[in-house]
Amino acid sequence: MKIWKLVAGILSIIFSVIVFFQSMLVGTANTLSSNGEVGGSAGLFVSIFMLSGGIVSIVVRNSEKTTGNIALGILFGLGAFLGFGMAGSYSDLNIWAGWCLINMGLAIVSFVKLRKRGY
């Protein structure tokens, strides 16, 4: 799980930059077209949760405590919830929310494995 946390952390940081710029463009387009969608704003929050989750993932990768996995599950879970719930016409946000959902699932698996070991 240590390798997963490092790789997922690095990829999440890289993806968060992509999501940030995509969301800025989508938000600008939504504002100019006055369509009332909030996909761009939701994408900004998803990018913040992805960045935070990536940093936490890298920092706690060698930890034997379960609190880091709980934090990862919450951060990536919030990103997935916002992404799937508010994507609207910004369909790429569903892909990024899927990435958050995968990371949340793996954080839960890591949490369960650590609990079985008694940590």
Residue 97's pLDDT band (cuts 50, 70, 90) = very high
> Taking Cα atoms as reference points, which of 10, 19, 72 lies closest to residue 48?
19
pLDDT for 35 equals: 87
Q: How many CB atoms lie within 10 A of CB 41?
A: 17
The structure tokens listed for 103 are 């990371």
pLDDT for 7 equals: 95
Model pTM greater than 0.95?
Answer: no
The whole domain housing 73 covers 2-117
Q: How many domains does the chain divide into?
A: 1
* Residue range 80-96: mean pLDDT, rounded: 91
Task: Look over the chain and give the mean of its residue pLDDT values, rounded to a whole number.
Answer: 92
> How is residue 91 annotated by DSSP?
T
**Model confidence at 39: pLDDT above 90:** no
What angle, rounded to 10 degrees, do the helices at 92-117 and 39-59 form?
A: 30
Residue 34's pLDDT band (cuts 50, 70, 90) = confident
pLDDT for 100 equals: 96
Residue with tokens 């930890």: 63
